[in-house]
């Protein structure tokens, strides 16, 4: 999925319609998929802005956590941050979709390995799903969004 440059942009990516608004350190996007409108806060992963993440947790119904499957050195850091977020009271009822991204790279960890490294099987009281993806080609993105859409529809 390409990002638009500039202060705002709109793009259509087959069945996914995305409208972006750039903001200080964060991107806010409205994503429409299968008649569900998602407000997406792309908070990035920079160390210095992680303490600010919690300000965006209120009213969160679903969390998409994107993991660089090729970065074996930082997967433990990803686990720590994910578990820290999931411990927040505001995310208590949020479903979790993990995109195991960069599957096109030869040394990428597969979804089963990412599941193990992130400790997803320990999440017994939360709906979660992991999807192998390649954001540059779009592989796996629809499958993940389908799962998330179904989960959110069933919550209503």
Whole-angstrom distance, CA of residue 97 vs CA of residue 83: 14
DSSP assignment letter at 100:
E
Band (8; pLDDT cuts 50, 70, 90): very low
| Whether the predicted pLDDT of 61 surpasses 60 | yes
Whole-angstrom distance, CA of residue 122 vs CA of residue 48: 28
Q: Helix (H, G, I), strand (E, B), or coil: what is residue 99? A: strand
In-domain check, residue 145: yes
CB 115 within 8 A of CB 84: no
What's 23's domain CATH number?
Answer: 3.40.50.300
131 catalytic? Reply is: no
> Binding site annotation covers 45?
yes
> Binding site annotation covers 101?
yes
| Whether the predicted pLDDT of 21 surpasses 80 | no
Higher pLDDT: 24 or 20? It is 24
Sorted by sequence, the CB contacts under 8 Å of residue 81 that are 6+ apart come out as 45, 50
Higher pLDDT: 6 or 64? It is 64
> Binding site annotation covers 44?
no
Domain, as residue range, for 146: 8-155
In-domain check, residue 3: no
Band (81; pLDDT cuts 50, 70, 90): confident
Query: What is the strand order of the sheet 8-13 is part of?
Result: 8-13, 16-22, 27-33, 36-42
In-domain check, residue 2: no
In-domain check, residue 124: yes
């Amino acid at each position: 999925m390409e990002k638009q440059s500039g202060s705002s942009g709109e793009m259509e990516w087959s069945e996914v319609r995305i409208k972006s608004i750039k903001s200080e350190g964060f991107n806010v996007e409205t994503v429409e998929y299968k008649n569900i409108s998602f407000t997406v806060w792309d908070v990035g992963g920079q160390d210095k802005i992680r303490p600010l993440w919690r300000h965006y947790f209120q009213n969160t119904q679903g969390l998409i956590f994107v993991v660089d499957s090729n970065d074996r050195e930082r997967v433990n850091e990803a686990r720590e941050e994910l578990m820290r977020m999931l411990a927040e009271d505001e995310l208590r009822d949020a479903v979790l979709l993990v995109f195991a991204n960069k599957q096109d790279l030869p040394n990428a960890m597969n979804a089963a390995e990412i599941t193990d490294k992130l400790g997803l099987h320990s999440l017994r009281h939360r709906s979660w799903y992991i999807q192998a993806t390649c954001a540059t080609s779009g592989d796996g993105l629809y499958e993940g969004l389908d799962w998330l859409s179904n989960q959110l529809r069933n919550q209503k």
